[in-house]
Amino acid sequence: MDDSALFSSLFSFLAQGGPSIWAIAALSVITLALIFWKVWDLAYMGAWRSRAVSERALALWAQGDSQSAREVLAGRKGLRSRFLREAFEAHENTGFDDAAAEAETTRLAKKDLERTRTGLRPLELISTIAPLLGLLGTVLGMITAFQTLQEAGAKADPAMLAGGIWEALLTTAAGMAVAIPASIAFTGFEAVADRLRHELEDMATRVFLRSRVVDGSRLSVAQAAE
pLDDT in tens, 202-223: 999 999 888 765 434 444 333 3
Residue 130 to residue 122: CA distance in whole angstroms = 12
Predicted local distance difference test score (pLDDT) of residue 99: 85
Residue 11 lies in a domain: no
Residue 214 phi/psi, 5-degree rounding, is -130, 120
Predicted local distance difference test score (pLDDT) of residue 37: 96
Domain with 64 in it = 18-225
Predicted local distance difference test score (pLDDT) of residue 121: 94
Residue 66 lies in a domain: yes
Number of domains forming the structure of the chain = 1
Residue 200 lies in a domain: yes
Predicted local distance difference test score (pLDDT) of residue 98: 80
Predicted local distance difference test score (pLDDT) of residue 225: 35
Predicted local distance difference test score (pLDDT) of residue 220: 38
Residue 1 lies in a domain: no
Query: 80, 47 in Cβ contact below 8 A?
Result: no
Residue 183 lies in a domain: yes
Query: 25, 14 in Cβ contact below 8 A?
Result: yes
End-to-end alpha carbon distance in the chain: 79
Residue 5 lies in a domain: no
What parts of the chain have a pLDDT lower than 70?
Answer: 1-18, 152-164, 212-226
Residue 37 lies in a domain: yes
Residue 217 lies in a domain: yes
pTM of the model: 0.79
